Each structure stands twice: as C-alpha cells, then as structure tokens.
Amino acid sequence: MPTNLYLAYTAPINPSGASPTLTRAQVWAGLQRKIRHAEEFVSAISTCDVLTDNGEAGVVREVVFAANPGKRVKEVVNSYKPLKVDFHQTDGSLVSNIVSDGPGLRDEDLLMTYTFQWIGQDAEPGSEEEAKMLERNRGMAKGAVEGSIDTIRRLVKEGKI
C-alpha cells in the first residue's frame, strides 16, 4: 500500500555573517525567478519549461528531474505575495516555499520554510522503507532551502535581482 510523506525544513535567510542581508522583496523576487528557472535553484531539476505564465496569478510548467530524465512533471504554481509559493503536481503532491518573520520582525530575522507533501510513495506506512525515504528526503529538504537562499544571495550580488 502506498504511503504519503510529509516533512518541512526551516532555515534563517540572513544568518549571522551573511552578506548582503536579503530583504523580503529580494527573497520574493528570487522565488519568482525560481518558478521560471528552477534548474538554477534545485540541483535535482535538469530542465524547467514554462507552458503558461500569468505572472503572480499562476504559472504552469514542466520540470525534468535529473534522476528520471525521461519523465516530465507538470506543476501548477501559485504565488501568494509576499508569503508563499505553492507547487502543485498532478499526482496531488504539494511543495510550498514560505517566507516568514523571525522573532525580531526585521529582514535580518526572516526565515524560509519548505513543506513537502508527497502523495502515493512506494512504501508501506510505518515501514522501514518509509523511514528511510523520510530520512533521505530530510537531507534533500535541507539542501533545497539552504541552496535556494544561497542562490538568491548570489543573484543579488550579481545584480540579477
């Protein structure tokens, strides 16, 4: 019986020593770029083709994951400025990229959280295989959040955001 997997990872956008300090507007611009150029942000994605683009009202895209180059995954992407971006896949899976305030309510304290809801994964609920999948995906989630923050910071330094 397939199982659904759920997990989340949060990281500070502007940890101590990070330069430049990213503003909420810069982070939002980075997330909008990520929608259209996912391969710049997510090493697991080899290509990203935008099929329709209605700005922040919604984007339909197809991505190809490097691990499965023969399969195109269609996603409907909705933006909720300046809070989150939702990536809906046709199998019901959902990934959300969320920007939130930290304790000081300043740009220096911004946080980024990615939540993952993977539907119908090939593992029995409560099984050792399910536990292994979750553990493997925890590392991926950490890398995705931290990699996206690093990419946004690099694009700001390069003057592209």
86 to 65, 70, 80, 83, 145: CA distances (angstroms)? 18, 24, 8, 10, 14
Based on its alpha-carbon atoms, the radius of gyration of the chain, rounded to whole angstroms, reads: 16
Contact 34, 48 (CB under 8 A): no
For residue 76, what is the domain's CATH number?
3.30.530.20
Residue 69 belongs to domain spanning: 3-156
Residue 161 domain-assigned (yes or no): no
Residue 41 CB: number of other CB atoms within 10 A? 22
What domain count does the chain have?
1
**pLDDT tens, residue order, the chain (161 aa):** 688 889 999 999 999 999 999 999 999 999 999 999 999 998 889 999 999 999 888 999 999 988 888 899 999 999 999 999 999 999 999 999 999 999 999 999 999 999 999 987 878 888 898 888 888 889 989 999 999 999 999 999 999 99
Residue 83 domain-assigned (yes or no): yes
